[in-house]
Structure 1
Amino acid sequence: MVIAMQPTDGGTASANPSWVAADMGAMIHQCDAELAEHDTRLDRLTSGVAALEAEMETVHSKRRQVVATREQALRVQETLLAAAQAGAALRSGQHGGRGKFKVVPDPDEREGADSSSDGAADPTETTINPLAGGAGHTAEASAASDASKLGPRGTRALQIINSEPDQRWTGKLLAVRLEGQEAEVDGKAHNRARTLMDDLAKKQLVLKKYSDDGRRCYFVTAAAAEAA
């Protein structure tokens, strides 16, 4: 408690140096107390912020690791799928090829022919197609060949679509699957996904359909379209 000193010379309080000095001392003491209180609070807040920043950095680091692992897994998956499709296309092309067979004469007949002529005739090559009526197989081989030419993004899109054959795929739905949840409100991502599915439809890997009113389009797997 500060007791204000009364002036002794009959002057005003503000003109008394002793009173002013005592009053300023009290004010300084009050300011020191408030500063100490503020410093304590700032120290507590600073410690909390530092701990929060450290925790945020830990979470960010773990998230970056998960993102890197996910991207690597996608690349491995796309590589394996592309290799499997290329193998299927190669096998289809082999089955759709033409076989060549040589007609070899009987040894006894050949001896008779040798005795009546200067040399034996060359064996006749006959080319046959082992798959009669193979138009459907040719179309399948063509589709498999187109699938083997897809890039990583196209391969990934085809895999996603084929994984849910009953789904009606739109640009928005595929964009979210390809690029993450943030693509749900990204119109450019929707357009990219729709263009990708249009390209798959041209290769007859998916089928493009329209709603009953003809105003909206969607895509389904070729297998689902055949089943319908």
Structure 2
Amino acid sequence: MQLTDGATASVNPSWVAADMGALTHQCDAELAEYDAQLSRLASGIAALEAEKAAVLSKRQQVVTTREQALRVQDTLLAAAQAGVALRSGQRGGEGTRLEVVSNHGGQESAESSADESPDPLDSAAAPPTAEGGHAADAPAASDNAKLGPRGMQALQIINSMPDQQWTPKLLAVRLEGQEAAADNKAHNRARTLMDHLVKKQLVVKKYGNDGRSCYFVATAATEAA
């Protein structure tokens, strides 16, 4: 039943009541449809939240595994450096000084009468210092033995791409992973590491056209140029 004439409706209340009843049923049907849609959306959101939680959990496991792998790598590099220093100490005789990083980050040192401050990059072993002032004439291999695991790793990365202009950010990403791209502290650590390599004349520091930004290149690249 549908009203077609307002004047007629005003004198026939039963028609108005019947039409409003039909409209009520129509609204009830639409509300039921919308409620069903909302229920489906809620179920979908719950499923997405569960999937997100599972992905985050797996990601955290990968992060943990990566950190453990880096620790193992550092330990192996430290052990290798300690072996090099030990062998050098046997060849150099007396007057040697050896520092070895323990598994818990501590250092055990065997010092001779020569009291020498460790280089900031030393984290595995210091090279032997022969008596009679021969330290200044030591070959480049002895300097490399003082770099420690991170210094050796950074030098290997830079030398693997000698023509690359290594910024602190770029090296930080190679050393610590993609997360370091937005980590200013990681950039500062990489810059300090490369500045020490510059002091040892293993890399060369250059500045951009603005005179402020800097980058680093392998020494071999500048010698070739």
**Fold conserved (TM > 0.5)?**
yes
Where do residues 95-106 of structure 1 align in structure 2 (5 Å cutoff)?
95-98=91-94
Change (3 A) 1:81 1:58: same
Structure 1 length normalisation: TM-score?
0.62
Matches of 2:144 and 2:176, distance apart in 1: 26
2-structure distance, mates of 1:135, 1:188: 34
Q: Secondary structure at the match of 2:147?
A: helix
Q: Is 1:176 aligned with 2:162?
A: no
Q: Deviations over 1:95-149 (max 9, x none)?
A: 22349xxxxxxxxxxxxxxxxxxxxxxxxxxxxx9xxx886436643542x324x
Distance 1:16 1:205, change over 3 A: farther
Which residue of the partner structure matches residue 109 of structure 1? none
CA distance in 2 between counterparts of 1:49 and 1:165 reads 51
User: Is the CA contact 1:201–1:208 (under 8 Å) kept in the aligned structure 2?
Assistant: yes
Question: Structure 2 length normalisation: TM-score?
Answer: 0.63
Residues 206 and 220 in structure 1, CA contact (< 8 A), matched pair in contact too: no
Structure 1 residues 222 and 89, CA gap change in structure 2 (3 angstroms): farther
Identity level (%):
65
Match in the other structure for 1:55: 51
What's the C-alpha RMSD, in Å, of the aligned pairs?
3.8
- Distance in 2 separating the partners of 1:94 and 1:201: 29
1:34, distance to aligned residue in structure 2 (A): 0.6
Q: 1:43 aligns with which of 39, 42, 58?
A: 39
Contact 1:171 / 1:190 at 8 angstroms: preserved in 2?
Answer: yes
Contact 2:144–2:152 (8 Å) recurs in 1: no
CA contact (8 A) 1:175 1:184 kept: yes
Counterpart of 1:88? 84
The number of residues matched between the two structures is 187
Distance 1:90 1:220, change over 3 A: farther
Structure 2 CA distance for aligned equivalents of residues 31 and 92 of structure 1: 91
1:48 CA displacement: 2.5
1:137 equivalent in alignment to 2:138: yes
Q: Distance in 2 between matches of 1:3 and 1:168?
A: 81
Structure 1 or 2, whichever has the larger Rg, is 1
- Give the corresponding residue for 1:161: 158
SS at match of 1:169: coil
The alignment partner of 2:28 has SS state of helix
* Conserved 8 A contact 1:205-1:221: no
Which sections of structure 1, spanning at least 5 residues, go unmatched?
A: 100-128
